[in-house]
């Protein structure tokens, strides 16, 4: 039964002409309102993941639920179809269960708040915000168990409920929810921050409507959607061919010994519509790496990628959704069946961007990006603080790591960056102030970016020294299957994790591990992967390679991948460089469009020697028949 919108004023909005100046003012006012949502959030939240890193995503939608500004696209249409209840002035919806909103949020750690905005008895807009909670209960600290077999192991699941009903706060509900978490102070503050952000945006929307008139404001939102539709229609006709193209990439493993898992997508244009079909994607995992991919979310990913590559001036919104048909097989890694575990979905989520790059660039190699830092590696550290004066108080850290952005048509990939452009790092001073640790190293991992005319961005080498005994958990990927290069560029280096014990011994740690015990003085070397390179590395300016040796981005040995001979001071031996480049050109064949590195079976055979870890085992799925 669809949602009942309770409006005391039945007068419909009128579509009126909008002059360009008014449209521009409203468009930029909406952009600013979204920025103000973010600013309100980081000034109000308590958890490092939201307050310091910005792991939250805002949305302002029109009166029908279509996103006007935001990042992940709107889930509101699906919510309105499935919510069996009313929406009235003074209501606010709260939820965290991905299965209750068609994957609009992709794991239960993301708490979402939705505020319908009423003015003079009519529904004028929606504002929404979701953010990652550092702990929601469940079997492990941080609530993201790698080996979970169902979503019931991953903490509290909140179906859509009214946290505010006709202006009255549901305090009993909040007591129940906060009782499930190990960090109720953080969760309560973060939830209040989400609520405050939505209310700020609501006020800005009402102010715009009061300034210009309700009909003008609503008409402007419809024109912004229509303008986006026209722009995307032109881009699709220009960039997408009718002939199908396919691309596939992999999640290295599931954390319980099996992998890799394939994600495959085929794209073609049928008239003015794009078809994106994920047939051939592997069935869902028994562990938690499944990603419940909301079709509208993927449409937004596709639109953002198209706009950023071909016309970055376009304001992306939901206006183009009818131009895209997304097909995801039931029971696959990207549409798992309830109650499949979802907490480790970040790797598949990030890999979607590599898939899009590989699809969109095949017909236009000049626009092609390499594979990049397509994940958000997590570190969890928890225990009782035994330092003097801390009285054994409980602590727990959730931190998102950064890595190398891919080499691009217009230049090198940035070093040590986030998958999400708006994320920032947790300052080392913050970590040392609030957690029992020292940051011994935070620097680029030289040579980790793939060689190319445009170098892939380097990953990060971060070393933590633990000052209290406790446990750590790690969620990362790209340790087995490397990030590929394009147009002759080479793959980036893979991720590594090394635990150096206080007694001087070292152990290679897996990239998906749970509850690893650490003692006082132990050091964790958390090394992330680099981006793939773009273009022929033998065409890179040798003087630039020499400069990067001085800057610590490339080593003298790593410079040989560019055919450059230089010393530790960055001084290039011109004659030796010319000779080496001539030799390398003579030995190689045609440059590949994609350089994936060795194949999967070669990677398996060499895995232990190259990584210090056993190779993942090819998965066998009980869900195979359902997925096909």
Per-residue pLDDT tens digits for 107-121: 999 999 999 999 999
> In whole angstroms, what is the distance from residue 213 CA to residue 286 CA?
53
3-state secondary structure of 526: strand
Question: Which residue is associated with the tokens 């194949």?
Answer: 599
506-508 and 496-500: which strand pairing? antiparallel
Residue 610's pLDDT is what?
97
pLDDT higher than 50, residue 181: yes
pLDDT higher than 70, residue 493: yes
pLDDT higher than 80, residue 229: yes
Residue count (the chain): 628
3-state secondary structure of 238: helix
Q: Measuring CA to CA, which residue among 217, 8, 264 is closest to residue 120?
A: 8
**Average pLDDT of the residues in 340-348:** 95
Q: What is the dihedral of CA 443, 448, 450, 455, to 10 degrees?
A: 20
- Consecutive H or E run containing 397: strand 394-400
Residue 133's pLDDT is what?
95
**Average pLDDT of the residues in 459-473:** 98
Residue 623's pLDDT is what?
47
Residue 598's pLDDT is what?
92
pLDDT higher than 80, residue 218: yes
Better-scored residue on pLDDT, 457 or 367? 457
Q: How many CB atoms lie within 10 A of CB 427?
A: 13
Q: Which of 211-225, 303-317, 497-511 bottoms out in mean pLDDT, i.e. has the lowest?
A: 303-317
**Average pLDDT of the residues in 87-105:** 92
> In whole angstroms, what is the distance from residue 4 CA to residue 6 CA?
6
The beta strand positions in 494-615, using DSSP E, are 496-500, 506-508, 512-518, 523-527, 594-595
Q: 234-262 burial, b if ≥16 CB within 10 A, otherwise e? A: ebbeebbeeeebbbebbbbbbbbebbbbe
Respond yes or no on whether the N-terminal peptide bond of residue 147 is cis (omega within 30° of 0).
no
Strands ordered across the beta sheet of 324-327: 245-251, 261-270, 273-277, 324-327
Cβ neighbours of residue 593 under 8 Å, at least 6 residues apart? 362, 365, 368, 486, 487
* 532-555 pLDDT tens trace: 999 999 999 999 999 999 999 999
* 237-272 pLDDT tens trace: 988 999 999 999 999 999 999 999 999 999 999 999
pLDDT higher than 90, residue 511: yes
N-to-C CA span, the chain: 30
3-state secondary structure of 489: coil
pLDDT higher than 90, residue 365: no
**Average pLDDT of the residues in 196-202:** 98
- The C-alpha angle 531, 532, 537, rounded to 5 degrees, equals 125
The phi, psi pair for 118, rounded to 5°, reads -105, 145
Averaged confidence pLDDT in the chain:
93
CB 41 within 8 A of CB 129: yes
Residue 375's pLDDT is what?
77
The structure tokens listed for 491 are: 């793959």
Domain boundaries, the chain: 4-232
> In whole angstroms, what is the distance from residue 525 CA to residue 534 CA?
28
Cβ neighbours of residue 446 under 8 Å, at least 6 residues apart? 458, 552, 553, 554, 555, 558
3-state secondary structure of 35: helix
Q: How many CB atoms lie within 10 A of CB 601?
A: 10
Q: Which of 54-63, 576-585, 614-623 bottoms out in mean pLDDT, i.e. has the lowest?
A: 614-623
Counting residues of the chain whose pLDDT is more than 70, the rounded percentage is 98
Residue 296's pLDDT is what?
87
């Amino acid at each position: 039964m669809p949602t009942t919108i309770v409006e005391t004023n039945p007068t419909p909005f009128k579509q009126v002409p909008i002059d360009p100046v008014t449209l521009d003012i409203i468009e930029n006012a909406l952009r600013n309102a979204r920025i103000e949502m973010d600013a309100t959030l980081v000034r109000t939240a308590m958890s490092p993941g939201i307050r310091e890193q910005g792991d939250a995503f805002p949305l302002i939608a029109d009166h029908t639920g279509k996103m006007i500004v935001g990042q992940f696209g709107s889930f509101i249409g699906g919510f309105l179809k499935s919510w069996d209840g009313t929406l009235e002035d003074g209501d606010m919806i709260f939820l965290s269960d991905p299965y209750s909103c068609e994957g609009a949020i992709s794991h239960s750690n993301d708490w979402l708040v939705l505020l319908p905005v009423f003015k003079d008895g009519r529904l004028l807009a929606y504002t929404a915000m979701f953010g990652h909670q550092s702990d929601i209960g469940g079997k492990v600290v941080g609530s993201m168990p790698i080996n979970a077999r169902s979503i019931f192991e991953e903490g509290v699941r909140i179906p859509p409920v009214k946290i505010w009903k006709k202006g009255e706060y549901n305090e009993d509900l909040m007591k129940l929810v906060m009782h499930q978490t190990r960090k109720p102070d953080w969760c309560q503050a973060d939830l209040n921050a989400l609520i405050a952000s939505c209310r700020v945006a609501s006020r800005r929307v009402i102010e715009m409507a009061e300034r210009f008139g309700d009909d003008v404001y609503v008409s402007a939102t419809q024109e912004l959607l229509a303008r986006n539709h026209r722009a995307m229609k032109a881009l699709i006709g220009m960039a997408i061919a009718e002939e199908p193209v396919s691309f596939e990439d992999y999640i290295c493993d599931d954390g319980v010994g099996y992998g890799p898992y394939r994600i495959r997508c085929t794209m073609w244009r049928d008239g003015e519509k794009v078809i994106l079909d994920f047939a051939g994607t592997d069935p869902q995992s028994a562990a938690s790496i499944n990603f419940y991919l909301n079709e509208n979310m993927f449409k937004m990913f596709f639109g953002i990628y198209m706009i950023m590559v071909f016309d970055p001036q376009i304001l992306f919104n939901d206006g183009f959704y009818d131009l895209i048909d997304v097909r995801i097989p039931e029971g696959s890694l990207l549409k798992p069946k309830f109650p499949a575990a979802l907490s480790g979905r970040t790797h598949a989520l990030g890999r979607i961007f590599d898939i899009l790059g590989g699809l969109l660039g095949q017909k236009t190699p000049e626009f092609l990006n390499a594979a990049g830092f397509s994940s958000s590696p997590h570190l969890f550290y928890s225990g009782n603080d035994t330092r003097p004066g801390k009285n054994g108080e409980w602590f727990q850290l959730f931190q998102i790591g950064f890595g190398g952005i891919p080499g691009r048509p217009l230049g090198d990939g940035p070093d040590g960056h986030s998958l999400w452009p708006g994320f920032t790092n947790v300052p080392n001073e913050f970590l040392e102030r609030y957690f029992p640790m020292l940051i011994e190293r935070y620097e680029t991992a030289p040579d980790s970016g793939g060689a190319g005319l445009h170098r892939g961005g380097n990953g990060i080498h971060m070393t933590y020294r633990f000052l209290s005994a406790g446990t750590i958990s790690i969620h990362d990927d790209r340790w087995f299957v490397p990030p590929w290069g394009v147009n002759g560029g080479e793959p980036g280096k893979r991720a590594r994790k090394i635990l150096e014990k206080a007694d001087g011994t070292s152990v290679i740690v897996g990239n998906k591990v749970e509850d690893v015990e650490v003692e006082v003085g132990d050091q964790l070397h958390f090394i992330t992967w680099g981006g793939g390179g773009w273009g022929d590395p033998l065409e890179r300016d040798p003087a630039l390679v020499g400069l990067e040796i001085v800057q610590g981005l490339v080593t003298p040995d790593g410079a040989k991948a560019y055919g450059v001979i230089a010393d530790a001071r960055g001084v290039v031996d011109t004659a030796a460089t010319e000779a080496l480049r001539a030799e390398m050109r003579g030995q190689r064949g045609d440059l590949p469009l994609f350089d994936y590195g060795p194949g999967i079976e070669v990677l398996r055979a060499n895995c232990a020697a190259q990584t210090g870890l056993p190779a993942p085992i090819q998965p066998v799925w009980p869900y195979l028949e359902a997925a096909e």
